[in-house]
Structure 1
Amino acid sequence: AWNVLALDGSNWQRIDLFNFQTDIEGRVVENISKRCGGFLRQLSLRGCLGVGDSSLKTFAQNCRNIEHLNLNGCTKITDSTCYSLSRFCSKLKHLDLTSCVAITNSSLKGLSEGCRNLEHLNLSWCDQITKDGIEALVKGCSGLKALFLRGCTQLEDEALKHIQNHCHELVILNLQSCTQISDEGIVKICRGCHRLQSLCVSGCSNLTDASLTALGLNCPRLK
């Protein structure tokens, strides 16, 4: 009876493979996706270094109801994975691409076109991302509530202008170590993101008291 239950994909809506990360290869993800199909809502592949674009394409094709996907540290994946998610996974709300260093602006353009329900996106240490990628992203994913951009060192104040113009629902913004950001960018965020509750600017050494003043005047929900 246990074997029957275990092999029934409808019983597997949430899967976290972090504890098995060193053993997980692409074929495992493909088999899971074929077994669980449309039942799977949440999958964490955090730290699964052996998983690449091909297996995630199969996953995206089979698991079109996925809402929460953690690819933190899956360093093999490229823009191709985001194209697959964009094409097949329109219900995606939460995506973690931390340290997926091959990701470029093209990924963000793809996500903006096909994953418009995104609410939480982590792009920390994806250091190829520039203001052009942020512009494309926020035009399609204006419902973002949490955006993590730690270590995206190419981002400038212009990127924050795009966030100001489109992300009025934003509650959490992490700009840690975005070293090119200045007061001008923070003022833009303050003027467009009045619901902001959490802002991290650790390592942003260009900021002065002007940023604090703007935050105090415009973001009353900050904690």
Structure 2
Amino acid sequence: MLQNLVSKTSLAISKISSQKIPKTIDPRYTEAKTTFKKISFDVSKMINSLNQMQLNLQKLATASLKFGEDIDHWFSDAPEDAQLKAKTTLSFSKHFSALTINFLSPKVEPNVIALLVRYQNEMNRLNDVKIQRKLARIEYDKSRAALESFLADPSKIDPSKLEEAKLKVSKDKDLYSPLNEDFITSVKKLEDNRESSFEKPYKNLLCLTSQYMMQVFTELQKFRTTFPPNLFVHNEAK
């Protein structure tokens, strides 16, 4: 008998599906959907660029260290002045490599990239919630319309079939409502924190790269006390 009731309910929903079903409209969701569209920003390209920057700098640091070691080896038997220049080059290579691999890279990952990844993950999650919410809303609208069709003619109401329809509406609403609320509240939170979500990693990146470049510059200055001054004078080709 239960199978018969389910079949009747499914048949009613199928008939409703072929008609235009009134759509559940939540003004809060409509506003949140508009807001989400405005604040949607795919930061995956930015994340990829930062990862590529990290990789390139690490390659440069490794190559620089190898170059410094080779120079030091090649000039091991050279005059003292040449050996000093080779040692200065090796010293810079070591410091540049250490600053890049032990300072910049470990700090950029948690303080810049991880924050952007967290933002991107939330954007992706909300896109999934929006899709799931739409599917749940469609099912809820169908079952609600089916129930209304049963109630449209009280004289022909089958109590068992009516109860089945009510249970279906309740079940579908329980699936739809949490998704609807999740999207609305999460978009609001994302909007409120959007400026800080971008501002913090951007400031962190500026701070870290500034410290990094200043320390690299300090190491470069040691060349001025080892190499002749005219080496640092730029002469344009004629």
Could you tell me the TM-score, scaled by structure 1's length?
0.19
Higher helix share: 2
Higher strand share: 1
Highest Rg: 1 or 2?
A: 2
